[in-house]
């Protein structure tokens, strides 16, 4: 029964074409690039492009960590603090082995422990959402408060710094002119795309987000899918935390707090359905580039940082209006002729 039901549903998931969605985002990106290139001659310089290449991956990894929970019809408000507590785990491990003098082995051990901590935080949220039935917003909010309090307690409100020099390669290095953080993000984004679009788990994610009851009737283990979704989200947060530690050469509980709402904006700008069931990695990546171009462009023309935040808010409102208009147009196109 499970096999006979999967094929038509999987086709149904792919009915909505992605080319038009990508084209509209690419058009918007091109317009922004042209506008800022005219407004500032420094926009298309190697220095500015390199700066964007180093800045975007952190936001990108956190956005990918937000993507899967939204696809499942949920939300993960704890992504930033999961990243920070994972970074603290790495920092604490390095401190136990000499801090700046710690060897590669200590760093590898710290990374493994950081990934485990991120996965456990995600699994705890997923387990409560799936088996207790609590709302994802409330569960992730509780986890966010817990991780923030735990981090503040462990660090006494300060930060941990003084890491080995070889960690700078992760945060500031380049390979063939391409920033290492951007390479890491590209690999993770490609793997995330393949997992969501080409694996049984990805199919279960979309089915669970579309209709959890239907997924269970189809023979899918929706609860196990939810736990795995949040666990993998926690792993991505841990990768972001490791990269953040290498980038800033310090770890602090409050690092990246402003990124939380921007990850939601990037998902919605990339066409992810806020109610779950629809969304892809590629449009979200394009949306991330758009937001980075917007931020860098406004900075180059001398706009106030708070203005950038306000523009991002206006972007979110505009995206919601456009999505609503598109849905109404599609509805009348499909059903209006029959009346």
According to DSSP, the residues that pair with 175 across neighbouring strands are 178
pLDDT of residue 336: 54
Greatest Cα-to-Cα distance within the chain, rounded to the nearest angstrom:
75
In what helix (H) or strand (E) does residue 250 lie, and over which residues does it extend? strand 250-252
Question: What is the 8-class DSSP label of residue 178?
Answer: E
* Rounded Cα distance, 276 and 67, in Å: 10
Domains along the sequence of the chain with CATH: 45-156+164-323 (1.10.3470)
- Are 82 and 239 spatial neighbours (Cβ–Cβ below 8 Å)? no
Q: Distance between CA 208 and CA 224 in Å, rounded? A: 11
Q: What is the pLDDT of residue 275?
A: 84
Cα distance between residue 283 and residue 240, in whole Å = 20
- Token digits of residue 240: 């972001």
d(CA 261, CA 256) in angstroms, rounded, equals 11
DSSP state, 275? Answer: T
**Structure confidence at residue 262 (pLDDT):** 87
pLDDT in tens, the chain (339 residues): 443 334 334 434 443 445 567 788 888 889 989 999 998 888 888 888 888 999 899 999 999 999 989 998 899 999 999 999 999 999 999 999 888 888 899 999 999 999 999 999 999 999 999 999 899 999 999 999 999 999 888 888 788 888 888 898 898 888 888 999 999 999 999 999 999 988 888 888 888 888 787 777 777 888 899 999 999 999 999 999 999 999 988 888 888 888 888 898 899 888 888 888 888 999 999 999 998 998 888 888 877 767 777 777 777 777 677 666 555 554 444 445 444
pLDDT at 213: 79
CA 9 from centroid of its chain's CA atoms: 26
pTM listed for this prediction: 0.86
Which residues, including other chains, have CB under 8 Å from residue 165's CB and lie 6 or more apart? 100
Torsion of CA 314, 315, 320, 326, to 10 degrees: 130
């Amino acid at each position: 029964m499970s096999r006979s039901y999967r094929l038509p549903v999987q086709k149904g998931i792919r009915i909505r074409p992605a080319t038009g969605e990508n084209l509209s985002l690419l058009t918007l990106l091109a317009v922004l690039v042209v506008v800022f290139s005219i407004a500032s001659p420094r926009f298309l310089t190697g220095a500015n492009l390199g700066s964007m290449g180093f800045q975007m991956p952190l936001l990108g990894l956190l956005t990918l960590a937000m993507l899967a929970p939204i696809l499942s019809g949920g939300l993960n408000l704890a992504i930033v603090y999961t990243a920070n507590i994972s970074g603290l785990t790495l920092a604490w491990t390095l401190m136990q082995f000499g801090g700046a003098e710690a060897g590669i082995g200590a760093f590898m051990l710290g990374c493994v422990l950081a990934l485990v901590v991120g996965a456990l935080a995600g699994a705890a949220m997923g387990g409560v959402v799936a088996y207790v039935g609590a709302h994802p917003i409330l569960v992730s909010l509780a986890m966010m408060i817990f991780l923030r309090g735990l981090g503040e307690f462990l660090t006494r409100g300060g930060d941990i710094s003084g890491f080995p020099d070889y960690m700078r390669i992760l945060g500031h290095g380049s390979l063939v002119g391409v920033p290492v953080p951007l390479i890491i993000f590209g690999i993770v984004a490609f793997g995330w795309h393949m997992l969501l679009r080409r694996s049984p788990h990805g199919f279960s994610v979309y089915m669970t987000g579309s209709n959890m009851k239907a997924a269970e009737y189809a023979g899918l283990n929706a609860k196990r899918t939810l736990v795995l979704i949040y666990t993998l989200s926690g792993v991505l947060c841990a990768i972001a935390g490791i990269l953040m530690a290498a980038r800033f050469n310090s770890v602090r509980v409050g690092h990246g707090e402003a990124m939380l709402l921007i990850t939601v904006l990037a998902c919605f700008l990339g066409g992810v359905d806020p109610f779950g069931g629809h969304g892809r990695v590629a449009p979200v990546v394009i949306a991330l580039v758009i937001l980075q171009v917007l931020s860098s462009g406004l900075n180059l023309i001398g706009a106030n940082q708070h203005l950038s935040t306000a523009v991002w808010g206006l972007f979110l409102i505009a995206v919601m209006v456009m999505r609503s208009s598109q849905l109404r147009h599609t509805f009348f196109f499909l059903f209006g002729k029959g009346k």
